[in-house]
Structure 1
Amino acid sequence: MTGEATFEAGRLGRIAVVRLRPNQDLVTAVEAACREHGISHALVRSAVGSLVDAVLEAGNHTIQVPGPGIEILTLSGEVRSGAAGHPGADLRGTIADGKAQVYGGRFRRGANPICITLELVLQEWLPA
């Protein structure tokens, strides 16, 4: 194994089931949901929904997937508050376009507008 692993003591807290509205950016809407519910650290447990268009980052590559109607197949990640106390989301997943082509990577902030709605389950992480 070549990479370093870090471990953080803590426990799981509350669960928030959130509906994100059309045309909101996926990343910033998840951050806003955490602020609204007073969650500074969270894990993404599940999600179902679609995007108008999508932009993913995979290594040094940018993947632009034109829509409309990009289906989210998987969504995972975490939200952590920085030094200023503002939550920052790191979201990764797989998506499919209208031709059933599948893409994966990190969702770029400001470039993934929600199509109809997106239902999301967040679980609070309480570091020790």
Structure 2
Amino acid sequence: MDISITRRNGFFKNAFGSRLPLSVYFNGQLITRLATGETQELQLPEEEGELLVGMSSADLGIYRSFDKQAVQVQRPVVSSQPYRLLPTDAPRSYSVRTRAWVVWDFMDLALIRPLCSRVFVIEEVLESSMP
């Protein structure tokens, strides 16, 4: 299944970790890293799955002593909600941005477990909105 994914550029679209690469996962497997403003064409297996973007503790330079397993396998510490993909969806274009609340997150609430999976959002790019 062929898709393209873009990491949005700009402060309000990319307020969290804009200088760090964003890891892209499909069915729990790391498939690529995406820099700010970059677009990549990806070839995914022809199967139903979940697309997820995030940053691991190694990406962020933090170590959580209570979550040693996550450090060892590099699971994302902050991420998006999983986005369900079907083989019938391809070819599609997606973009990744930081959620609006994170722009005003001066207390690092994004690192609290219930909120850490809601830092990024994956959105489908409609053909009419493409330049």
Q: Above 0.5 in TM-score?
A: no
Q: Which has the higher strand share?
A: 1
The higher-RCO structure (CA 8 Å, 6+ apart) is 1
Q: Which has the higher helix share?
A: 2
TM-score, normalising length: structure 2: 0.29
